[in-house]
Structures are given as C-alpha cells and as structure tokens.
A and B are shown apart, each in its own frame.
Chain A
Amino acid sequence: MPTIMVDGQEIEVDEGGFFVHPDQWTEEMAPELARTAGVGELNEEHRRVIKFMREEYFAKGTGPTVRALGLSSGVPVKRLYELFPKGPAKLAARIAGIPKPRGCI
C-alpha cells in the first residue's frame, strides 16, 4: 500500500488516496488533505461535512453517499457541489481520513 506524509506523519492510503486506518486522522491534517484534494481553504461548512462523514463512518462502517449527505448533514446537494466540486462524498471522505463511501445512489 502507498503511503503519504501528512502533518509530519506517514499515513497508509489506498490507490485512491483514502486512509486505510481512519484512527490515524487528526483535525490538523484536514487543511493539508484539502489542498492536495484540490478543495482549497476549508470553511465552516466544509468542516461540518467532514465531521459528519467521520461520525457516519464510525456509526455505520461506511461513509454516506452524496444523497445521504444532502438529506442528513444539513448541507443541501447544490451547496455540497459548490463546496466540493469534484465529488462531495468522495472528496470529503478523503479529507476526513475515511475510506471511499460505497453506494450507488
């Protein structure tokens, strides 16, 4: 498995750049992960989505899809795509240090 350096730590990731061990993630890593994911500066809304991704992952074993995010994170789908233009669930999962969400809808 490839590794990346984030916030001075060596992190194991999969081919898509998603954390293999979500426990290794810290909040301080988020800005750097966001930059490499092409998201740029994180604002309050980004952080809310990232926090929600982690909560869902630890509660359900997988991160939410975009539809699930839109229904339950409090951020509507349209806004999610403004925050994460290249795929909200995918990019937020990468920044949140969890595996890529699996789900078709």
Chain B
Amino acid sequence: MPDPIEKVSIVISKGSLDGVYPGLIMANGARAEGIDVNLFFTFFGLDAIHKARHEHIKLATVGNPGLHLATWLGGVPGVSTVMTRYMNHKMEALDIPSIPEFVEMIADTGAGLYACKASVDMFGLTEGDFIEQLKDIITVGEFYEMAAGGQIIFT
C-alpha cells in the first residue's frame, strides 16, 4: 500500500464562492483524516479571511459556463446576489456551513491559517483587517518552508 499523506498545504487564490469552498472542504476533510493542514490565502482568496468581506462572498455568474446561464444574464445587476442566495440555501439544506463558520471550524481543527504578504501589501491591508484565527502574514518563501515534506494543493 502507498504511504498515506501526512501533510497538505492548500492555497486559496480566488474570492468567489465557487473559488473558496473547494479549498475549505479539502482542508477540513484532510484534518478529519488526521492530516496536518496549512491554508494559505492569496490574492482575492484573502476575502475568505477578511473580517468585513467573508460574509459577502459571491458566486461568479459571469465567465462561469458551468452555471449554464446566458453570459449577458450573468452580468445583469442583482443576478449574482440572487444566485448566491440560491446556492447558500442549497448548501444550508445539506448542512454545509457558511464561509465564516467553516473557516472558524477549520481553525478549530488545528489547521494553520496564513495570508500572503505580497497580496496583503498590494491590497493595502493590515493584520487588523483579518479574522482573529489568522496565524500570520507570510512570504511565499516561508510558505514553501512550511509546506516542506507535504503536498501542495492550489485552488
């Protein structure tokens, strides 16, 4: 039998609902298996740990052919909000937590939450903009050091 996975470092780089959930589910699932997890939020993925924004993460209704919506319709004001609400209802029915609740739970499982320094600087953010579960703002080099010996998953 192949060796089991002992550690994963998951990068969340997108700020849409469909861009954030997969990484969170993989992180939570890894912890449930007893796998060590580091979560690295970069670029628009930072919204998932941004205090004022993490409750308002929206489904991408433009440039998302998987939704099977006409492109022009996806861009109509309000469509993204309505579709996001629809998705959230569906997920709630399946007992999938909201993004803020999910991120907090993942921190409780012992996963480390980190923000990308380059992105934080670029967006003019500071530590105070993030949820208290954030462990540190780190460079990409520090991320690789932390990820050593494990698998890296980019989402």
Question: How many residues on B have C-beta within 8 angstroms of the other chain's C-beta atoms?
Answer: 15
Does B32 interact with chain A (Cβ within 8 Å)? Answer: yes
**Given A77-B109, A81-B31, A67 and B25 contact (CB-CB distance below 8 Å):** no
Question: How many residues on A have C-beta within 8 angstroms of the other chain's C-beta atoms?
Answer: 18
Does B146 interact with chain A (Cβ within 8 Å)? Answer: no
Does A22 interact with chain B (Cβ within 8 Å)? Answer: no
Q: Is there contact, CB below 8 Å, between A87 and B31?
A: yes
Does A13 interact with chain B (Cβ within 8 Å)? Answer: no
Task: Please give, as numbers and ranges, the residues of chain B lying within 8 Å of A85 by CB-CB distance.
Answer: 34, 110
Some 5 contacts from A to B, beta carbons below 8 A apart, are: A67-B97, A68-B95, A81-B108, A81-B110, A91-B34
The CA of A73 and the CA of B105, in the complex, are separated in Å by 15
The CA of A87 and the CA of B109, in the complex, are separated in Å by 9
Q: Is there contact, CB below 8 Å, between A66 and B25?
A: no
**Given A104-B25, A105-B25, A105-B95, A66 and B109 contact (CB-CB distance below 8 Å):** yes
What residues make up the interface of A, taking CB atoms closer than 8 Å to B? 65-68, 70, 76-78, 81, 85-91, 104-105
**Given A87-B33, A104-B29, A81 and B109 contact (CB-CB distance below 8 Å):** yes
Q: Is there contact, CB below 8 Å, between A66 and B32?
A: yes
Task: Please give, as numbers and ranges, the residues of chain B lying within 8 Å of A91 by CB-CB distance.
Answer: 34
Which residues of B (19-33) have their CB < 8 Å from a CB of A?
Answer: 25, 28-29, 31-33
The CA of A86 and the CA of B34, in the complex, are separated in Å by 4
Beyond contacts A65-B32, A66-B109, A85-B110: 12 other A-B pairs, Cβ-Cβ < 8 A, are A66-B28, A66-B32, A78-B108, A81-B31, A86-B34, A87-B32, A87-B34, A88-B32, A91-B34, A105-B25, A105-B96, A105-B97
